[in-house]
Amino acid sequence: MSLRLPFPDAGARVRMLARQWARGRQGDDGDPVILHRRRIYILPTALGVGYAMSLFGMLLAAMNYNNNMGFTLTFLLAGLGLVAMHWSHQNLSGAVARGFRLHPAFAGTPARLELSLENDARAGRNDLQARCEEHASACLDLAPGEVGELHIDLPTSRRGQLRVERIGLQTTFPFGLFRAWAWLHPAVVGIVYPAPAEHAPMPPAGGPEDAEGHWDERRGKDDFAGLREFRQGDSPRRIAWKAAARGETLPVKQFSGSARGSAWLDWEALPYLADEAKLSILCRWVLDAHAGGGAYGLRLPGVEIPPAIGPGHRHRCLTALALYPGGMGPAGV
Protein backbone atom coordinates (compact mmCIF):
# COMPACT_ATOMS: atom_id res chain seq x y z
CA MET A 1 0.00 0.00 0.00
CA SER A 2 1.51 3.31 -1.05
CA LEU A 3 1.20 6.50 0.93
CA ARG A 4 -0.25 9.44 -1.00
CA LEU A 5 0.18 13.03 0.06
CA PRO A 6 -3.08 15.00 0.30
CA PHE A 7 -1.57 17.91 -1.68
CA PRO A 8 1.17 16.53 -3.95
CA ASP A 9 1.62 19.85 -5.76
CA ALA A 10 1.60 22.05 -2.67
CA GLY A 11 5.37 22.59 -2.74
CA ALA A 12 5.36 23.58 -6.40
CA ARG A 13 2.43 25.89 -5.77
CA VAL A 14 4.23 27.62 -2.91
CA ARG A 15 7.40 28.05 -5.02
CA MET A 16 5.40 29.54 -7.89
CA LEU A 17 3.66 32.02 -5.57
CA ALA A 18 7.02 32.97 -4.04
CA ARG A 19 8.48 33.64 -7.50
CA GLN A 20 5.51 35.75 -8.52
CA TRP A 21 5.75 37.74 -5.29
CA ALA A 22 9.49 38.33 -5.74
CA ARG A 23 9.06 39.45 -9.36
CA GLY A 24 6.23 41.80 -8.41
CA ARG A 25 8.32 43.22 -5.56
CA GLN A 26 11.52 43.68 -7.58
CA GLY A 27 10.24 44.15 -11.13
CA ASP A 28 12.33 43.54 -14.23
CA ASP A 29 16.09 43.96 -14.01
CA GLY A 30 18.43 45.69 -16.40
CA ASP A 31 22.13 45.24 -16.94
CA PRO A 32 24.00 45.50 -14.59
CA VAL A 33 22.19 44.38 -11.43
CA ILE A 34 23.50 45.36 -7.98
CA LEU A 35 22.54 42.92 -5.23
CA HIS A 36 21.29 45.24 -2.51
CA ARG A 37 20.59 43.90 0.96
CA ARG A 38 16.82 44.14 0.54
CA ARG A 39 16.72 41.73 -2.37
CA ILE A 40 18.74 38.99 -0.65
CA TYR A 41 16.83 36.21 1.11
CA ILE A 42 18.24 33.73 3.59
CA LEU A 43 16.99 30.49 5.17
CA PRO A 44 18.69 27.64 7.03
CA THR A 45 19.71 24.61 5.03
CA ALA A 46 18.93 21.04 6.10
CA LEU A 47 22.32 21.04 7.81
CA GLY A 48 21.42 24.29 9.54
CA VAL A 49 18.12 22.86 10.83
CA GLY A 50 19.97 19.83 12.18
CA TYR A 51 22.51 22.15 13.79
CA ALA A 52 19.73 24.12 15.52
CA MET A 53 18.07 20.93 16.77
CA SER A 54 21.38 19.74 18.18
CA LEU A 55 21.82 23.03 20.01
CA PHE A 56 18.32 22.74 21.43
CA GLY A 57 19.12 19.23 22.70
CA MET A 58 22.34 20.49 24.24
CA LEU A 59 20.44 23.31 25.93
CA LEU A 60 17.90 20.88 27.44
CA ALA A 61 20.72 18.65 28.71
CA ALA A 62 22.57 21.62 30.27
CA MET A 63 19.37 22.79 31.97
CA ASN A 64 18.56 19.29 33.23
CA TYR A 65 22.00 18.80 34.79
CA ASN A 66 22.58 22.49 35.60
CA ASN A 67 25.94 22.23 33.87
CA ASN A 68 27.66 25.58 33.36
CA MET A 69 30.11 24.16 30.82
CA GLY A 70 27.14 22.81 28.83
CA PHE A 71 25.55 26.27 28.81
CA THR A 72 28.83 27.84 27.72
CA LEU A 73 29.33 25.44 24.84
CA THR A 74 25.70 25.74 23.70
CA PHE A 75 25.72 29.55 23.63
CA LEU A 76 29.15 29.61 21.98
CA LEU A 77 27.92 27.36 19.16
CA ALA A 78 24.70 29.37 18.87
CA GLY A 79 26.72 32.56 18.50
CA LEU A 80 28.83 30.86 15.83
CA GLY A 81 25.64 30.03 13.93
CA LEU A 82 24.48 33.66 14.08
CA VAL A 83 27.84 34.85 12.80
CA ALA A 84 27.60 32.32 9.95
CA MET A 85 24.14 33.67 9.05
CA HIS A 86 25.44 37.24 8.88
CA TRP A 87 28.51 36.17 6.92
CA SER A 88 26.44 34.22 4.39
CA HIS A 89 24.20 37.25 3.77
CA GLN A 90 27.19 39.56 3.47
CA ASN A 91 28.83 37.21 0.96
CA LEU A 92 26.19 38.21 -1.64
CA SER A 93 25.40 41.75 -0.58
CA GLY A 94 26.88 44.35 -2.92
CA ALA A 95 27.93 41.97 -5.69
CA VAL A 96 27.29 43.21 -9.25
CA ALA A 97 25.89 40.91 -11.95
CA ARG A 98 26.22 41.97 -15.58
CA GLY A 99 26.73 40.71 -19.12
CA PHE A 100 23.77 38.33 -19.32
CA ARG A 101 23.96 36.33 -22.55
CA LEU A 102 22.32 33.19 -23.89
CA HIS A 103 24.30 31.64 -26.75
CA PRO A 104 22.47 30.09 -29.71
CA ALA A 105 22.31 26.30 -29.81
CA PHE A 106 20.94 23.54 -31.99
CA ALA A 107 17.89 21.64 -30.75
CA GLY A 108 19.00 18.77 -28.57
CA THR A 109 22.25 20.44 -27.48
CA PRO A 110 22.67 22.66 -24.40
CA ALA A 111 22.35 26.43 -24.71
CA ARG A 112 24.94 28.20 -22.57
CA LEU A 113 23.75 31.01 -20.30
CA GLU A 114 26.60 33.31 -19.23
CA LEU A 115 26.89 36.16 -16.77
CA SER A 116 29.68 38.03 -15.04
CA LEU A 117 30.02 38.75 -11.33
CA GLU A 118 32.04 41.70 -10.08
CA ASN A 119 33.34 42.02 -6.54
CA ASP A 120 34.10 45.66 -5.73
CA ALA A 121 34.26 45.05 -1.98
CA ARG A 122 37.41 44.96 0.14
CA ALA A 123 36.73 41.36 1.20
CA GLY A 124 36.61 38.26 -0.95
CA ARG A 125 33.45 36.36 -1.86
CA ASN A 126 33.35 32.56 -1.86
CA ASP A 127 31.18 29.72 -3.19
CA LEU A 128 29.00 31.88 -5.43
CA GLN A 129 26.70 29.87 -7.68
CA ALA A 130 24.10 30.67 -10.35
CA ARG A 131 20.95 28.61 -10.85
CA CYS A 132 18.23 28.46 -13.49
CA GLU A 133 15.46 26.12 -12.37
CA GLU A 134 17.19 22.83 -11.47
CA HIS A 135 20.33 23.61 -13.48
CA ALA A 136 23.32 25.13 -11.69
CA SER A 137 26.75 26.49 -12.49
CA ALA A 138 30.03 25.65 -10.84
CA CYS A 139 30.94 27.61 -7.70
CA LEU A 140 33.01 30.77 -8.07
CA ASP A 141 35.40 32.51 -5.67
CA LEU A 142 36.17 36.20 -6.17
CA ALA A 143 39.06 38.12 -4.67
CA PRO A 144 38.58 41.84 -3.89
CA GLY A 145 38.17 43.80 -7.13
CA GLU A 146 37.99 40.63 -9.25
CA VAL A 147 35.50 39.83 -12.02
CA GLY A 148 34.52 36.23 -12.78
CA GLU A 149 32.15 34.39 -15.08
CA LEU A 150 29.41 31.89 -14.34
CA HIS A 151 27.74 29.74 -16.97
CA ILE A 152 24.80 27.33 -16.95
CA ASP A 153 24.09 24.77 -19.68
CA LEU A 154 20.34 24.73 -20.33
CA PRO A 155 18.86 21.71 -22.14
CA THR A 156 16.92 22.27 -25.36
CA SER A 157 14.58 19.98 -27.25
CA ARG A 158 12.87 22.04 -29.97
CA ARG A 159 13.64 24.97 -32.21
CA GLY A 160 12.45 28.48 -31.44
CA GLN A 161 13.05 31.15 -28.84
CA LEU A 162 14.44 30.25 -25.44
CA ARG A 163 13.51 32.84 -22.83
CA VAL A 164 15.09 32.89 -19.39
CA GLU A 165 12.60 34.37 -16.94
CA ARG A 166 14.61 34.13 -13.73
CA ILE A 167 18.20 33.54 -12.61
CA GLY A 168 19.16 32.77 -9.04
CA LEU A 169 22.46 33.66 -7.36
CA GLN A 170 23.16 31.79 -4.15
CA THR A 171 25.80 30.89 -1.60
CA THR A 172 26.04 28.60 1.42
CA PHE A 173 29.37 30.00 2.58
CA PRO A 174 30.91 29.70 5.19
CA PHE A 175 29.67 26.49 6.86
CA GLY A 176 26.67 25.44 4.79
CA LEU A 177 24.27 26.25 7.64
CA PHE A 178 22.37 28.94 5.69
CA ARG A 179 21.55 29.52 2.05
CA ALA A 180 21.47 33.15 0.95
CA TRP A 181 20.09 33.86 -2.50
CA ALA A 182 18.83 36.60 -4.78
CA TRP A 183 16.52 36.41 -7.79
CA LEU A 184 17.39 38.28 -10.97
CA HIS A 185 14.90 38.98 -13.76
CA PRO A 186 16.92 40.22 -16.77
CA ALA A 187 15.57 40.19 -20.31
CA VAL A 188 17.52 37.24 -21.73
CA VAL A 189 16.30 35.63 -24.96
CA GLY A 190 18.20 33.13 -27.06
CA ILE A 191 17.64 31.22 -30.28
CA VAL A 192 17.50 27.45 -30.64
CA TYR A 193 18.23 26.44 -34.22
CA PRO A 194 16.67 23.32 -35.77
CA ALA A 195 18.67 20.15 -35.36
CA PRO A 196 20.67 19.65 -38.59
CA ALA A 197 19.87 16.51 -40.55
CA GLU A 198 22.48 13.79 -40.22
CA HIS A 199 21.83 12.54 -43.75
CA ALA A 200 20.64 15.18 -46.21
CA PRO A 201 20.35 15.05 -50.00
CA MET A 202 22.64 17.20 -52.08
CA PRO A 203 21.16 20.66 -52.68
CA PRO A 204 20.23 21.43 -56.28
CA ALA A 205 22.65 23.62 -58.19
CA GLY A 206 21.42 27.19 -58.02
CA GLY A 207 24.15 29.18 -59.73
CA PRO A 208 27.84 29.10 -60.56
CA GLU A 209 28.51 27.51 -57.19
CA ASP A 210 26.19 25.21 -55.31
CA ALA A 211 25.84 24.98 -51.53
CA GLU A 212 28.65 22.46 -51.24
CA GLY A 213 31.17 24.90 -52.66
CA HIS A 214 31.48 23.35 -56.13
CA TRP A 215 32.84 25.78 -58.65
CA ASP A 216 32.06 26.79 -62.20
CA GLU A 217 35.49 26.77 -63.88
CA ARG A 218 34.43 29.60 -66.18
CA ARG A 219 34.63 31.99 -63.23
CA GLY A 220 37.89 33.84 -62.58
CA LYS A 221 40.33 32.96 -59.83
CA ASP A 222 40.18 34.69 -56.44
CA ASP A 223 42.46 35.05 -53.42
CA PHE A 224 43.66 31.77 -51.93
CA ALA A 225 41.81 31.10 -48.64
CA GLY A 226 43.10 27.67 -47.55
CA LEU A 227 42.60 23.95 -48.07
CA ARG A 228 39.76 21.58 -47.34
CA GLU A 229 39.13 17.87 -47.89
CA PHE A 230 38.08 16.60 -51.31
CA ARG A 231 34.35 16.18 -51.88
CA GLN A 232 32.62 14.27 -54.62
CA GLY A 233 32.09 16.61 -57.56
CA ASP A 234 35.12 18.83 -56.96
CA SER A 235 37.07 19.74 -60.07
CA PRO A 236 40.51 18.09 -60.42
CA ARG A 237 41.87 21.56 -61.28
CA ARG A 238 41.20 22.65 -57.69
CA ILE A 239 43.16 19.80 -56.09
CA ALA A 240 46.44 20.83 -54.44
CA TRP A 241 48.56 18.09 -55.96
CA LYS A 242 51.79 19.08 -54.19
CA ALA A 243 50.08 18.93 -50.80
CA ALA A 244 48.37 15.66 -51.79
CA ALA A 245 51.76 14.07 -52.46
CA ARG A 246 52.67 14.55 -48.80
CA GLY A 247 49.61 12.77 -47.40
CA GLU A 248 46.87 10.24 -48.05
CA THR A 249 43.98 12.68 -48.51
CA LEU A 250 43.24 14.96 -51.45
CA PRO A 251 43.23 18.60 -50.31
CA VAL A 252 41.21 21.05 -52.39
CA LYS A 253 42.06 24.74 -52.75
CA GLN A 254 39.55 27.30 -51.49
CA PHE A 255 39.39 30.87 -52.75
CA SER A 256 37.65 34.00 -51.57
CA GLY A 257 36.63 37.10 -53.47
CA SER A 258 34.09 38.56 -55.81
CA ALA A 259 34.57 35.90 -58.43
CA ARG A 260 32.61 33.41 -56.37
CA GLY A 261 29.17 32.46 -57.48
CA SER A 262 26.23 32.13 -55.13
CA ALA A 263 23.79 29.39 -54.23
CA TRP A 264 20.13 29.53 -53.28
CA LEU A 265 18.93 27.16 -50.57
CA ASP A 266 15.25 26.93 -51.41
CA TRP A 267 12.32 25.57 -49.41
CA GLU A 268 10.62 24.60 -52.68
CA ALA A 269 13.50 22.25 -53.53
CA LEU A 270 12.23 19.83 -50.86
CA PRO A 271 8.71 18.78 -51.87
CA TYR A 272 6.72 16.02 -50.18
CA LEU A 273 8.46 16.44 -46.83
CA ALA A 274 7.08 17.59 -43.49
CA ASP A 275 7.96 21.14 -42.43
CA GLU A 276 10.29 20.07 -39.63
CA ALA A 277 12.14 17.67 -41.92
CA LYS A 278 12.59 20.47 -44.47
CA LEU A 279 13.94 22.81 -41.80
CA SER A 280 16.36 20.15 -40.61
CA ILE A 281 17.72 19.59 -44.12
CA LEU A 282 17.93 23.34 -44.82
CA CYS A 283 19.86 23.73 -41.58
CA ARG A 284 22.36 21.14 -42.78
CA TRP A 285 22.65 22.91 -46.14
CA VAL A 286 23.33 26.24 -44.43
CA LEU A 287 26.09 24.71 -42.31
CA ASP A 288 27.68 23.00 -45.30
CA ALA A 289 27.45 26.14 -47.44
CA HIS A 290 29.05 28.23 -44.70
CA ALA A 291 31.84 25.67 -44.30
CA GLY A 292 32.40 25.74 -48.07
CA GLY A 293 33.09 29.47 -47.96
CA GLY A 294 30.90 30.52 -50.89
CA ALA A 295 28.00 32.97 -50.93
CA TYR A 296 24.54 31.50 -50.39
CA GLY A 297 21.02 32.73 -49.90
CA LEU A 298 17.93 31.26 -48.25
CA ARG A 299 14.37 31.19 -49.48
CA LEU A 300 11.49 30.30 -47.17
CA PRO A 301 7.77 30.97 -47.65
CA GLY A 302 7.49 34.71 -47.03
CA VAL A 303 11.20 35.12 -46.28
CA GLU A 304 14.13 35.69 -48.63
CA ILE A 305 17.67 36.33 -47.40
CA PRO A 306 20.00 37.49 -50.21
CA PRO A 307 23.27 35.62 -50.79
CA ALA A 308 26.15 36.63 -48.53
CA ILE A 309 28.94 35.05 -46.50
CA GLY A 310 30.25 35.20 -42.94
CA PRO A 311 29.13 34.21 -39.42
CA GLY A 312 26.54 36.97 -39.26
CA HIS A 313 24.85 35.71 -42.42
CA ARG A 314 24.95 32.14 -41.08
CA HIS A 315 23.21 33.33 -37.90
CA ARG A 316 20.52 35.20 -39.87
CA CYS A 317 19.74 32.13 -41.97
CA LEU A 318 19.64 29.76 -39.01
CA THR A 319 17.50 32.21 -37.03
CA ALA A 320 15.00 32.37 -39.90
CA LEU A 321 14.79 28.58 -39.79
CA ALA A 322 14.41 28.55 -36.00
CA LEU A 323 11.57 31.10 -36.04
CA TYR A 324 9.72 29.65 -39.02
CA PRO A 325 5.98 29.56 -38.16
CA GLY A 326 4.44 26.32 -37.05
CA GLY A 327 7.20 25.23 -34.71
CA MET A 328 6.96 25.23 -30.93
CA GLY A 329 9.99 26.66 -29.23
CA PRO A 330 11.34 25.16 -26.02
CA ALA A 331 9.56 26.15 -22.87
CA GLY A 332 11.09 29.08 -21.02
CA VAL A 333 13.12 28.22 -17.96
Q: What does each of the 333 residues of the chain score in pLDDT, given as a tens digit?
A: 344 445 557 767 777 777 777 777 777 888 899 999 989 999 999 999 999 999 999 999 999 999 999 999 999 999 999 999 999 999 999 999 999 999 999 999 999 999 999 999 999 999 999 999 889 999 999 999 999 999 999 999 999 999 998 999 999 999 999 999 999 999 899 999 999 998 888 887 654 344 344 434 334 345 555 666 665 545 566 677 666 666 657 776 665 544 445 789 999 999 888 999 999 999 999 998 888 888 999 999 999 999 998 999 999 999 999 999 854 444 333
Residue 332's Cα: distance from chain center in Å?
A: 12
pLDDT of amino acid 242:
65
Q: Measured between alpha carbons, how far is 128 from 93 in angstroms, rounded to an integer?
A: 12
CA 167 to the chain's CA centroid: 12
Give the C-alpha separation, 26 to 41, whole Å.
Answer: 13
For residue 189, give Cα distances in angstroms to 72, 237, 309, 318. 55, 47, 25, 16
DSSP H/E element including 97: strand 96-102
Residue 7: CB partners within 8 Å, gap ≥ 6? 13
Domain map (residue ranges) of the chain: 12-193, 258-322
Cis peptide before 301 (omega within 30 of 0): no
Give me the pLDDT at residue 209, please.
Answer: 43
